[in-house]
């Protein structure tokens, strides 16, 4: 079969996994409902327990937006072909071979724990299911340090070429994150201002209101640094700070992101106390509804895993040298709130007297979730007598602006995989560069900060997080309320 063949089969290995149930199938269903799922794509769900289409549909129902689309849901389910395989019995992969169309291009989505990648690849290879145009899609965690990430990459690259591997970071599929690129590279006004001479600091926050839910088993071996900072936060950082790519093509975009990751100034183990924060949520005495992290099901009683981290980052390149970037993320924070804040430098002299309000430095706030919006704060004359200033926001609200439906990150990324567009997927070197930067922090934490600072569930994290940024004269931009 030629790579240009139009028939494709999307094979989800781990068809009942949390990822498949809560993200992949709902995204495929939504694409189907809105007629974006190409007709030439067949969906095969490889499950490890016996299921009928009816019992499988029941698993998906709570996660799919079915109301008003009941008929489409039945149609969609009828399109899914279930293959039952016990992964511990490699000979059973013959059932998959029988189920696949040798004239179609296979796209294997590994919706399983990374420990299974090697085994699955081996089984697929044994049954000659891998060809030069096969694609595979994998998710984080891609390792837990540089060495393990290199091992995963090496193993995959011994069976696939880099252009066959789609490493997903779902944050790059979010509409607001792509808007960041549009804002930076689709407008000419920002580029001359986008540098350390004009910008004083950048904050990137990904705050979650939820706790670990039913993922404690994974999370208690991971923590916020590995789970969020190594991937989502660093990818956001790349989107904000990378050089304009020569074109919007995978090679160009990925090369620019890699340059940023390679320019991150190392935080050496003996610097972690000044440049990083680790926190873990405890009960809030005013709201005992939420339990402490260590009381969550599946978490070790004396766990020292962090559910919050804040980092002071610097990029050693010509554009950004010397300018601080503050990253923070955590679970059980006050509310779900993700944003990028660009704080510009102060005016060189202050000509206007404060009257009533007070002037502030210009700020560009790019809200990612729950709302997608961009606000640019400028100073304006306070009404009435005198020439005092107060800040006002120039608002761009994408929910109001866009009448069209909101795509989930996975819808967008799954279509990119089908279309063979690697722009929003990570290449091996990016994953490794990120771990290369994270590893000394982990080493420092083990040595100097083995115990995370406590914070109340529902707060904005430990006091040490405020202190980290206050030492440089800044405060976190928390939403009011």
CA distances from 337 to 17, 332, 454 (A): 27, 11, 20
Q: CA end-to-end span of the chain, whole Å?
A: 59
Separation CA 114–CA 137 (nearest Å): 12
Separation CA 200–CA 343 (nearest Å): 6
Q: Is 232 a catalytic residue?
A: yes
- Find the shortest distance in angstroms from Cβ 6 to ligand BG6: 32
- Find the shortest distance in angstroms from Cβ 94 to ligand BG6: 34
Q: Which of 36, 51, 69, 232 is catalytic?
A: 232
Omega cis (within 30) before 370:
yes
- Find the shortest distance in angstroms from Cβ 64 to ligand BG6: 17
Closest CA to 75 of 106, 32, 41, 104: 32
Q: Of the two residues 227 and 306, which places its CB atom closer to ligand BG6 in the complex?
A: 227
Q: How many CA atoms lie within 13 A of 18 on its CB side?
A: 6
Give me the residue label for tokens 């100073």: 379
Residue 208 interacting with ligand BG6 (CB under 6 A): yes
List the structure tokens of 89: 């019995």
Separation CA 107–CA 19 (nearest Å): 17
Separation CA 411–CA 170 (nearest Å): 10
Separation CA 304–CA 65 (nearest Å): 38
- Beta strand spans in 155-300 (E): 165-168, 199-207, 276-282
Q: Of the two residues 303 and 379, which places its CB atom closer to ligand BG6 in the complex?
A: 303
Residue at shortest CB range from ligand BG6? 227
Q: Of the two residues 105 and 338, which places its CB atom closer to ligand BG6 in the complex?
A: 338
CA distances from 197 to 238, 344, 360 (A): 19, 9, 18
- Find the shortest distance in angstroms from Cβ 211 to ligand BG6: 10
Query: Total number of residues binding ligand BG6 (CB under 6 A)?
Result: 2
Q: Of the two residues 141 and 357, which places its CB atom closer to ligand BG6 in the complex?
A: 141
- Beta strand spans in 247-362 (E): 276-282, 308-313, 325-330, 337-344
Q: Of the two residues 148 and 355, which places its CB atom closer to ligand BG6 in the complex?
A: 148
- Find the shortest distance in angstroms from Cβ 306 to ligand BG6: 12
Q: For the purposes of burial, counting CB atoms within 10 Å of the CB of 214, is it exposed (0-12), middle (13-18) or buried (19 or more)?
A: exposed
Q: Show the binding pattern over residues 226-265: x = contacts ligand BG6 (CB under 6 A), - = does not.
A: -x--------------------------------------
- Find the shortest distance in angstroms from Cβ 289 to ligand BG6: 19
* 364-382: b (≥16 Cβ within 10 Å) or e: bbbbbeeebbbbbbebeeb
Residues 49-88, interacting with ligand BG6 (CB under 6 A): none
- Find the shortest distance in angstroms from Cβ 246 to ligand BG6: 30
Q: Of the two residues 227 and 416, which places its CB atom closer to ligand BG6 in the complex?
A: 227
Residues forming the active site = 232
Residues that bind ligand BG6 (CB under 6 A): 208, 227
């Amino acid at each position: 079969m030629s790579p240009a063949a139009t028939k494709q089969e999307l094979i989800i290995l781990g068809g009942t996994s949390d990822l498949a149930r809560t993200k992949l199938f709902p995204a495929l269903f939504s694409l189907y409902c809105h007629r974006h799922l190409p007709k030439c794509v067949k969906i095969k769900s490889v499950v490890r327990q016996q299921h009928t289409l009816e019992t499988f549909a029941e698993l998906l129902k709570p996660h799919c937006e079915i109301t008003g689309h009941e008929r489409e849901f039945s149609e969609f389910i009828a399109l899914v072909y279930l293959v039952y395989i016990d992964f511990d019995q490699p000979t059973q992969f013959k059932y998959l071979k029988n189920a696949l169309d040798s004239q179609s291009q296979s796209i294997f989505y590994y919706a399983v724990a990374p420990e299974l990648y090697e085994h699955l690849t081996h089984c697929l290879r044994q049954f000659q299911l891998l060809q030069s145009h096969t694609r595979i899609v994998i998710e984080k965690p891609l390792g837990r340090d540089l060495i393990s990430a290199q091992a995963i990459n090496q193993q995959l690259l011994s069976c696939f070429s880099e252009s066959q591997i789609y490493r997903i970071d779902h944050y790059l599929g979010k509409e607001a994150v792509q808007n960041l690129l549009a804002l930076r590279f689709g407008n000419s006004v920002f580029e001359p201002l986008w540098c350390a001479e004009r910008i004083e600091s950048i904050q990137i926050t990904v705050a979650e209101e939820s706790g670990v839910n039913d993922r404690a088993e994974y999370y208690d071996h991971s923590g916020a640094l590995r789970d969020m900072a190594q991937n989502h936060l660093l990818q956001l950082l790349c989107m904000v700070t990378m050089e304009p790519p020569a074109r919007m093509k995978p090679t160009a975009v990925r090369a620019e992101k890699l340059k940023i990751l390679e320019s991150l100034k190392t935080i050496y183990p003996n610097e972690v106390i000044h440049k990083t924060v680790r926190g873990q949520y405890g009960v809030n005495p005013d709201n005992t509804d939420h339990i402490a992290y260590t009381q969550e099901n599946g978490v070790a009683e004396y766990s020292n895993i962090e559910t919050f981290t804040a980092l002071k980052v610097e990029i050693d390149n010509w554009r950004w040298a010397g300018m601080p970037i503050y990253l923070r993320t955590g679970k059980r924070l006050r509310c779900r709130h993700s944003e990028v804040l660009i704080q510009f430098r102060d005016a060189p002299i202050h000509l206007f007297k404060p009257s009533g309000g007070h002037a502030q430095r210009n700020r560009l706030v790019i809200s990612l979730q729950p709302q997608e919006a961009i606000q640019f704060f400028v100073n304006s004359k306070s009404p009435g007598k005198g020439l005092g200033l107060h800040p006002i926001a120039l608002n761009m609200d994408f929910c109001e602006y866009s009448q069209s439906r909101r795509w989930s990150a996975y819808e967008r990324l799954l279509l990119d995989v089908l279309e063979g567009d690697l722009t929003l997927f990570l290449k091996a070197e990016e994953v490794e560069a990120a771990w290369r930067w994270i590893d000394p922090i982990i080493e420092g934490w083990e040595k100097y900060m083995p115990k995370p600072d406590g914070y109340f569930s529902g707060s904005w994290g430990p006091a040490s997080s405020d202190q980290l940024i206050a030492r440089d004269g800044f405060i976190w931009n928390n939403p009011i309320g």
